[in-house]
Structure formats: structure tokens, C-alpha cells
Structure 1
Amino acid sequence: MAKRKNSSKEIEKRKKLKQEEQDKLLSTGLFNQKQQIDQDNDEDDEEEQEQEQVNDNDWENEEQDYELTPRNVPKTVVEGLPIKTSDGKIERVVREIVKEEEPLEEEPVEEPPIEEEPVEEEDEDSHLSPLERLNKIKEEIAELASKLMEDPEENISCLTRLRKMSESKNIITCQLSIMALIPVFKSLAPSYRIRPLTDTEKREKVGRDIIRLRNFEQGLLSNYIQYITHLSNLARTSYSNSINNSKTTSHQVKLGSIATKAACELCLSSLRYFNNRAELFAIIIKRLNRKPSHEDDLKIFTKCLRVLETLLKDDEENGDISFDITRILIKSIKDKKFRIDESVLNIFLSLKILEDFNPFDTNDRPQKPKLKKKDRVHISKKERKARKERKEIEEELQKAQHAITVEEREKFQAQILKSLLTLYLEILKSGSSSTPNDATLLTASVLEGLSRFGQMANFDLLGDFLEVLREIMNDIIEDHNEEGGQYDGKQLRTILLCIVTSFSLVLNHQSNGRLPMAIDLSKFVSNLYLILADLSLDCDLEFSHKSLRLLDPLSISEQQEKPSVNVSTKSELLLRCLDFIFFRSKNGSPFRANSFIKRLYMLLLQSPEKTSMASLKFVGKLLSRYDESLKYLWNTDEIISEGTYILGIEQQDLEVELERCNSGAATLWENVLLDKHYCPVIRDGSRSLLKNSKPNDKR
């Protein structure tokens, strides 16, 4: 308060002093002089302002004159082709191109829509060389991709821009954008499905971070779906289906190949667990038709086969991917009415999910006993609601972790097996008709699949399969009897597969106790005995698709003919058939063993080394099982049979039958030739069998 009083007193003193000074000026007349001086100063200021205004007017006039002066237009010098004059001199030709400047008052134009981008690029980049245009497109794509990698949630619009560039009419822009989106989606997309938001979740108030994440996920999913749709549209065009279409250009064929390769890359990544994987698998399966003859299409065809086989082999634990591929592929095969290559049907042989499946497993899992009402623990309504919420959360976590329960896995296995066996049966029925069709070419592939998965078939399909298999064998044998000659490799393989499949189907049901009746398979045994002689003369008895060999110089075809099914060799199938007949079923007998041993010794003289060794081991197993009933084949001193052995293969138009060959009168004179065999293992094996067959050796 004291400071405020002191300051107010000082102010009053200053006012008094100022008043006294003015009074003194009035008395002396100096006040009028000062007023006059102030007036003179004001007049000087007005003159200066007028002078400045004049100068301003002069500057504006001078600027207007500058604007009226002609401008120097920039010129571009372009060197043309040199000219040779009449004197023989070469002169340079240089011409100037006047580049018009854009008006300064023009406002920046908004970016045009993506669909019209190629037209705008041509107008804007008309002065650029093709290499400069390419570099500019690459720089733009690289900049968009780098922004997405740095902060995808903030720069999700760059993904939309890059995806629209992949739909451009410019072939270079479209091609580079499609390939650039592959690593972008690989890095951005999670390895789980993004489920759509419910109406309740959309109405909820959430934080800014959650809104940002949701916008990113929805933008990613929307662009991915449109990208897959665009790839599907492009992949429909190939060289094979564009031959008779004049409207299809080479650029469209090239984009179709690129789109299919992009789909293959996405399938082998974690995007196989992302949304719309069925549409992604469909892109690859649509390219699997008849084997193309064009080199580029053949490479893509083979790549698609390998991708699907890899997916089926890797899906051993879950089964959901195998179920999707099987469902789409079977539907495609039926839509094409079996007009496919057999390699497409062999894709099912890569199913790992069915290796540990046993549909006849009666050991049900122990179920929890149902509690009586009096033994139940009372739970409040609030607790039941909390349990239900926790259960829903656990299910979502299982889906995110690709966790599939045992029940779901068995359900996938059952559905895959049912659809696959139904397809096999339809192909066999269609191929066994009187008129040859496309399904006939798939018979060997179907039989190989049945030999692997047919043992899981239920009893309802067993009779249908056996009937079809018997018809296929009879048709081959009847055609051969009419034409004569020797069975070729495909016919022999088909018959062997029919025999193996039929025995595996019946024996599986017998072992599980689900066969209420006895099934006669003697016809299959007789057919195996019938083809043994021709089988020994087959040059490809031990060859598989992996064997390296030269082309037959006498063959008409320029390409080497590989086995129809690339799994088992004919030698392996033969040993499986013999094992089924004599050691795993009740079809074996000493009489049949005599006949087969005689035929096998005939096969030993012509068959390759490994097949001969395996046949000798099998004869040794038969000798140890039937013992005294077979020893007279090596020694006829004790047993003398009536009649003669009917060889059959040297007599024309004579059907060789197992029951009428009179094998009791046969002798194994082939031991004399086997004793001089070039292979020491075969030579020692035949000597050992001869030694063990003597009655004096058994002591």
C-alpha cells in the first residue's frame, strides 16, 4: 500500500511540473513558435508522401513495359539422321523444337481416375523415351510399396493405388503392379481370417487405435478380394484357348501366365490361411485341363500340379486345405466330363490326411457320463453367461491359431474319402462302357488310387467296385484274344492294378469283420496266371517314371512313354498280387502253387535281375509253406503223374486255364539253364532251392 501511495504522489508532481512549463511558454510566446515548427514538419511529410506516390506510379509503368516485351521461348535442339551430299560429304542435321510454356495462371488439375491412366501417361510422358517411362513406373511402384512397408495403417491408400495400377490398360504398368503386390500382401496379410464386424460391434464406441486398425483390416481385405478377382479374370486366357480366338492378343496371354504364377506364389505362402483361399485355389485348378502342347503353357501346367501336390502333402495335421482342394478339383473334373490328363487325377495320391484314417475304428472315445439332475452343481445365470462368452473366445483363438479338433479332422477325412471314392467309381463305370471315351484313359490312374485308398471303402461300394474291376479285365482279355499278339505295357499294368485293388478291398473288410459273405476271386487269380508269360517279356518291368533311359529307335512316337501312374512298377505289383493270393487270403492251394511255380520259373529266364531274385525268394516261401506237396517239381523219381503238362502259350487260339494245365506232370527243367545264369545270386538261389527240395536233406 505504501508503494501505491508513493507512486500516485510522484504522478501528481509530474503533472504540476508540466503545467508550470506550459504556463511559462505562454508568457514568453515560445508556444506559438513551436506550433509553427510542427506545422512546417507536417507540410514536409506531405511532400515526401506525394513524391513516393509519384515514384510508385513510375515503377508500375516500368513493370507494364517489361510485361509487354517479347519473351524468350526455350528451344530444344534435336539431332536427326545425317545426310550425305552429292560431294560425298556427310553433314549433321540439327533442328530446333519450340517448347510451349504453360500459362502461369493455370491451376493444378486434379489427378485423373486410374482407368484413364494410360491415356494421360501418353500425353504427359510423350517426350520421354521408353526406358525413361519404364523407370518412372518402377519408381512410382517402389515408392508406393515402401510406404506400405513403413507404415501400412497410415498409408493404406497406397495399397488401393497400387491395386488400381494392376488393372491398368498399360501392359507394363499392369504387369509390374501385379508382381509388386505379391510381396506386399505376403507381408501385410495375417495368417488368419479376418471376420466381418457384426452390427453390434459397428455400433460400439471404441478408441482411436481400434478404429485405425479396423479401417486398415477392412481396406486390406477389400483390396485383396479385388486383386484375387482380377487374377482370376486374367488367368482364364492361355495360349491353348486363344488359338482359335482372333480377339485375344499376345499381351493378354502373357498377363494370363503372370496371373497364374502370382496365384501359385500366394498359395505357397501364409495366405493359404487367409480369406478367399477357395477362390485362390480355383485359379490354379482352372488351368488344369488336358496337357497343353505349347511350351509356356506346359510349364505353367506342371507348376500348378506341383503346387497342389505340395499343399496336400503339407496339410497332414489339419485337413481343411485338403478338403477345399479336393472339393474344388472333383467339381472341376465332373464339369469337364473327365476330359482331363491323368496327371491331374494323380494329385489325389498326395493326400497325406488319409494315411492314418481308419473308418472301421469301433473304439469310440469315452464320452463323459451324463449327470443326473440331482448331481448337477447349481450355476447362476451370470456364471452361465460368463462361461458361454469364454467358450466363444476360446473358439476364436483356436481359429486364429489354426487349431482343429480331432472331431473336425476326422470329419474332413470322412468327407474327402467319400467324395474321392465316389469319383473313382463314376470314372470306372464311365470308362467300362462299350464305346471308348475320355474316362477310359483315366482307368489306370483310378486303379492306382483305389489300391491305396480303396481299402477304406465301406461295404456298400465293395460290390460295385468288384463288378467294375472284373469288367475292365474281361474287356482287355477279350480284345487281346480277338487281335492276338502280346499284351502291351498299359494292358498288363491295368490287369495287375485290378487284381491288387480287388484283393485289398476284400481283405480289408475281412480283417475288420465286416464281410458277411464269401467272395470268389478265382477269376482274378486265373487272369494273373494268364499274363505271367507276357509279363516276363515286358522291357519296362522294373522301370518307373524316375528311371533314365533312351528312346526306343523303333518306336513311332518321338517322346518316351512313361508309366501311366508314377507310383509302383509292374514288378512290385506282381509281387503284391502273389502275396495276396498265397499268404493273405484263402485263395492259395498246393495245386495253384504248382502251376504258379512252373510259370514263375519260365518268367525267371527272361525277367530282369531284381525281379528274378524276388521271384526266387517267393518260390522259397511257397516251398516252406506247402513243403512235400511241391518237391516233386524238382524230382520226378518218386511221383509219376499221368498226362502231359499243357504249356498253352505255343498253341494258337488256345485259352490257357489254371485248372486244366495239369501242372502235376510238369518238371522244373529251367534249373539247368539257371545254373549257368550270369548273376551269381540267381545261380546260387536256384541251386539252394534244388538242394532243399531233395527228400534226403530233411533230417
Structure 2
Amino acid sequence: MKRVKELRGMMMEADPSVAVSMRKMVMVSLMEVFKDIAPTYRIRPLTHAEKSTKVKKETQQLREFEESLVSQYKFYLEDLEQTIKDWKQKKRKRSQVVSFQSYRSLAEVSVRCLCELLLTMPHFNFHNNIIVTLVPLMNDPLKTVSDMCCDAFRKLFQEDRVGGASLATVRVISGLIKSLNYSVRPEEVEMKKDLEATATKKKFMTNKEKKKNLSRMQRKWKKAEEKLEKELLEAEASESKERKTKLHTETLNIIFLIYFRILKKAQKSVLLPVVLEGLANFAHLINLEFFDDLLNVLQNLIQSGNLTNRESLHCIQTVFTILSGQGQIVLLCL
């Protein structure tokens, strides 16, 4: 970790002839180092009681390593974020050796590193900090930056099997759209099938073939091991399914909240066509309590005459989807 600290210090290179290239190489190098040495779990801070308890030498060494790792990773993320801020604010900090144009290229490398960490280390510390930094950049005027961020979040949504990272992202997006008064650029998101379902399956030895190579005692232990593993997987799957359902439900609620805000408060927004298309695709997931208000808003939109033919069709499709599902209950009550 001392070497990591020394390497991070090289991001402050002041020699004008090598400053830009040196900083870029250090940014990328540190990104790869952290990807390699970070554990597959989030490191939590120790409690006062844990710090005062005597532990084995190996345990203490591990604690010191983890504490130093989190510290250096935090400083590294702050360096990347500060580089982006300096570029956005047109500041020339950290000496005058780097021009504003060079800061732009440094900022692009910083964004690229953060996008990579967003996708490869969603389990590790400060992942939400990365999300908070990158989400506003999806709306950045510089196309190379906005494209990098949009592509990274599309991939995150596709690869997030649990839903925690997606929920955190949607929360930040919701806040950003509201703070900018719905003045953000709409980006197309392709609906892709689950890649895992179509992935080519590798051939493995069958259980019967494996058992042929085992002794009687080994087969007995193997059978007991498989039974235990099956029970553990069933318990884990039940808990995982419940957690995923909760996260996905909350994510959907925030997405629909964004949709309804735009429908009611920002009907002139460039986001309206995307919202109507989203509603047409996901209307069957909307809670029953929102149906009455939503139908009224859609009716007013169609009657306003301000929609294109495609947008009007999305409104009609949404209405039919609602009324063909849970919406039948609404009709029966009228």
C-alpha cells in the first residue's frame, strides 16, 4: 500500500514535458491495481469495541491492509473527481503546467476510469460516490463524455442481477432531472434480451460419469456434500429473491415517479416522447391507485393536439394496456 501511495503521488507530476502523459498513465495504472487487489466484499469500518479487542497478528495485518486500501482508494476517487471538476470549472489548479485543453483530455481519462470502476467494482466501497459523479455527466455537452457515461450505465442496468446499483442510479437520475427542471437530453435505451439465456453452454462431465471415478466412501461423502449444497442454495435463493423483488419494486416506483412528474409538470419537455414510450412498454406494472389520474392526464394530452401521431399512439397503447389488466377493476367500479 505504500507503493500505491507513491504511485498516487505521481498524479501531481509538475514537469510540463511529461505532466499530462504521466498523470494519464498513473490514473489508468491505479485503476487496474485497485481492480486486482480489492476484495469481493465491502470493507466496513471497525467499531470501537473491535479496535480495542486483541486479535491474532494475521488478523491485525489484514485489518491494517483493508484500512489502508479503503483510504488510498478514496483519495484516488477524489483525485479523479477533482480533475473533472477543475476541467468543468475551467480552473488550472495544481500549478500552471497543464493547459485547459490538456485538462479536458485528463478529465476524459478520469471519466473512463470511473466508468470502468462503476462496472467492475459495484460490490466495493464508494460505489454510490462514483454513481453521483457520473450521472450528471450523462447530460454533458461533450459527446465523448456523455456517451461514455450513458454506455456505462446501460451496461450496469443489464449486468446488475440484484438491483442495488440500479436503484442507487435511478435515485440519482430522478434528483438530477428534477434539479434541472426536466431540461435534459433524452437518450435511447435498447431493450435487449438477457444475454445469459442465449449464451453457449459449455459441456461438463455428468454426475454419472464423475461417480464412476469415485470410491464407495467418496461417493457417500459426495452425496452428503451435494445435499448440503442444495439446501444452502435453496435458502440463499429464497433470501436473494425476496431482496431482489424489494429492490426492483422500489426502482420501478422511482421510474414511474419520474414519468408522472414530467406528465404533470413538464409536458413541453423533450423528455415527453420518451416518457410516453416508457409508459406504453411498462403500463402493466403501474399500481392500481395511479390509474385514474394517469388516464385523465393521457386524455388531456391527446385532446391538446400537441402530440405527434407516434406519441398519441403511445398514449392509446398505454390506456389499452391499463384497461386490459388491473384496469378492468376500475371499469367495474364506474
Scaled by the length of structure 1, what TM-score is found?
0.38
Give the Cα–Cα distance (whole angstroms) in 2 for the partners of residues 226 and 454 of structure 1. 44
Residue 262 of structure 1 deviates from its aligned partner by 0.6
Deviation at 1:287, TM superposition (A): 0.7
Aligned 8 A contact 1:318 1:404 in 2: no
Letter in 2 for 1:475: S
CA distance in structure 2 between the aligned counterparts of 1:416 and 1:349, rounded to whole angstroms: 17
Q: Secondary structure at the match of 1:273?
A: coil
User: Counterpart in 1 of 2:37?
Assistant: 188
> Against the structure 1 CA distance between its residues 325 and 218, is the aligned structure 2 distance closer, same or farther, given a 3 Å change threshold?
same
Number of the residue aligned with 2:313 = 496
In 1, Cα distance between the equivalents of 2:118 and 2:272?
30
Q: Deviations over 1:475-495 (max 9, x none)?
A: 22xx6xxxxxxxxxx711111
Instruction: Tell me how far apart the structure 2 counterparts of residues 167 and 451 of structure 1 sit (CA, whole Å).
Output: 51
> Which residue of 1 is the match for residue 271 of structure 2?
442
Superposed displacement of residue 465, structure 1:
1.3
Q: Write the distance in 2 (CA, Å) between the matches of 1:254 and 1:454.
A: 43
Amino acid at match of 1:409: K
> Any conservation in 2 of the 1:312–1:351 contact (CA below 8 Å)?
no
Judge conservation of contact 1:232–1:283 (CA < 8 Å) in 2: yes
- Matched residues in 1 for 2:99 and 2:186: separation? 29
Identical-residue share of aligned pairs (%): 26
| Distance in 1, Cα, partners of 2:21 & 2:37 | 24
Question: Which of 400, 412, 419 is the equivalent residue of 2:247?
Answer: 412
Residue 498 of structure 1, CA deviation: 0.8
CA–CA distance in structure 1, aligned partners of residues 309 and 70 of structure 2: 53
1:177 alignment counterpart:
26
Q: Following superposition of structure 1 onto structure 2, how do residues 611-630 of structure 1 map, counting pairs within 5 Å? A: none
Which residue is equivalent to 1:283? 133
Q: 1:321 to 1:507 in 2, by over 3 A?
A: same
Shift of 1:242: 5.2
**Is the Cα–Cα contact under 8 Å of residues 459 and 515 in structure 1 kept in the other structure?**
no
**3-state DSSP class of the match of 1:304?**
helix
Aligned to 2:262: 427
Match of 1:459 in 2: 288
SS of match in other structure, 2:40 = coil
2:149 is aligned to 304
Matches for 1:579-598 after TM superposition, within 5 Å:
none
Change (3 A) 1:340 1:222: same
Distance of aligned partners of 1:516 and 1:165 in 2 relative to their CA distance in 1, 3 Å threshold = farther
Shift of 1:459: 2.4
In the alignment, does 2:7 pair up with 1:162? Answer: yes
Measure, in 2, the Cα distance between the counterparts of 1:304 and 1:402: 32
Is the alpha carbon distance of 1:158 and 1:459 closer, same or farther for their aligned partners in structure 2, counting shifts above 3 Å?
Answer: same
Query: What letter corresponds to residue 242 of structure 2 in structure 1?
Result: E
Q: Is the counterpart of residue 213 in structure 1 residue 62 in structure 2? A: yes
Indicate which of 116, 127, 148 corresponds to 1:265. 116
2:322 aligns to what? 505
1:327 aligns with 2:165: no
| One-letter amino acid matched to 2:48 | D
Q: Say if 1:191 and 1:273, in contact at 8 Å, map to a contact too.
A: yes
Could you tell me the TM-score, scaled by structure 2's length? 0.77
Aligned length: 285
Alignment deviations for residues 539-590 of structure 1 (CA, whole Å, 9 cap, x no partner): xxxxxxxxxxxxxxxxxxxxxxxxxxxxxxxxxxxxxxxxxxxxxxxxxxxx
* 1:497/1:268 CA distance change after superposition, 3 Å: same
Q: For structure 2, which runs of at least 5 residues remain unmatched after alignment?
A: 92-97, 195-231
Kept in 1: contact 2:277–2:311 (CA 8 A): no
Give the conservation status (yes or no) of the 8 Å contact 1:318–1:409.
Answer: yes
192, 203, 219: which one aligns with 2:52:
203
Cα distance in 1, alignment partners of residues 193 and 170 from structure 2: 9
- What displacement does 1:283 show? 2.3
Shift of 1:516: 4.5
Change (3 A) 1:226 1:273: same
Q: Closer, same or farther in 2 for the Cα pair 1:447/1:411, shift >3 Å?
A: same
Gaps of 5+ in 1: 1-155, 353-396, 480-489, 519-699
Residue 235 of structure 1: CA displacement? Answer: 2.2
Q: CA, structure 1 residues 284+198, in 2 after alignment: closer, same or farther (shift >3 Å)?
A: same
Per-residue CA shift, 1:293-317, capped at 9, x if unaligned? xxxx3122112111111111112x3
Shift of the 228–464 alpha-carbon distance from structure 1 to 2, 3 Å rule, reads same
Structure 1 residues 403 and 186: alpha-carbon distance in aligned structure 2, compared to 1, 3 A threshold: farther
* 1:153 aligned partner: none
User: In 1, distance between residues paired with 2:290 and 2:256?
Assistant: 9
Q: Which residue of 2 aligns with 1:540?
A: none
CA distance in 2, matches of 1:449, 1:510: 18
From the superposition, tell whether residues 458 and 425 of structure 1 become closer, same or farther in structure 2 (CA, over 3 Å). same
